[in-house]
Amino acid sequence: MKPDNLKTKIFLDSGDPKETRETLSLLGFLDGQTTNPSLIAKSSSAQERISKGLKFSKVEVKEFYRDMVSEISGLIPSGSVSIEVYADLSTSAKEMLDEAQQMYSWIPNAHIKIPITKEGLKAAEIAVSLGMRLNLTLCFSQEQAAAVYSATKGAPKKGDIFVSPFIGRLDDKGLNGMDLISNIIRMYRQGDGHVEILAASIRNLNHLLCSLWLGVDIVTAPFKVLKEWVNKGLIVPDNFYQYDSHGLSPLAYCDISLDQNWQNFNIHHPFTDKGLESFVRDWKAIIE
């Protein structure tokens, strides 16, 4: 049962409807789910097919993705389901937008994931004007988050736009990923609140607990972390909670004005590039 003092929405980070069912049974609630090409490729249904020596054609893999998110959507009809466009470093804004519009029609509760690249933000700006709900993903810096805020100012209401800072991947490089969450929360206080912060790349229970303590809008976590949280009694940290960064290098806060055109911000980040490369690699591994 959902704790009374829980203000943060809880999402499952998974491309597998089986885990959606398990999580609903375990938690008793679920506010949404985030998917991406890597998670879909690693789902039990995809791996069962691959184990038989069968791969997907490009048409089949898109149909498979649609079927997976449609099943997930049916399990959490009042929640959000993030679907990610295919994008590499050369994908144009038009290509992303065309795919985003197609994916947006798959289910009634979609948020379309678009990477925070120059072409991605061009696509996002147009998508917002068309009334689409978006999740701007692979965020690794305050400037990227500021650019998301600026590019999506036309969003009609709070909850239509998410930005997804990746905690674990920063930790992997010796940087305190939780600082990025804290810094974006602080920066967004000067804005209108139209972008919700979705803490992503959650690797462990401490990431989850610190996100709750900071008061982030949404946390998306893998099943194993949510299960550990349940085993700890669905605790919500109080004011005495202290996050142990285990010696990771801090990320200093930058004083950034949100009243700028998104193209004025330096949005390039090598970790975003690597994230795209990883998604493409996993996707291609299951395609003929």
Catalytic residue, candidates 52, 55, 58, 113: 113
Q: Alpha carbon 44 to chain centroid distance?
A: 21
The β-bridge partners of 34 are 13, 82
**Which residue's entry shows tokens 């809880």?**
10
Q: CA nearest 84: which of 217, 68, 49, 145?
A: 68
Angle, helices 177-188/142-151, rounded to nearest 10 degrees? 40
The token duo for 4 is 């009374």
The token duo for 93 is 């804004």
Residue 280: Cβ within 10 Å count = 17
Residue 146 region, left (φ>0) first, then alpha (ψ -120 to 50), else beta?
alpha
Specify the pairing of strand 195-199 against strand 110-115: unpaired
The token duo for 161 is 């736009």
Residue 113 a catalytic site member: yes
Q: How many Å apart are CA 53 and CA 64, to the nearest integer?
A: 17
Q: How many Å apart are CA 20 and CA 11, to the nearest integer?
A: 10
Q: How many Å apart are CA 36 and CA 281, to the nearest integer?
A: 12
Catalytic residues, by residue number, are: 113
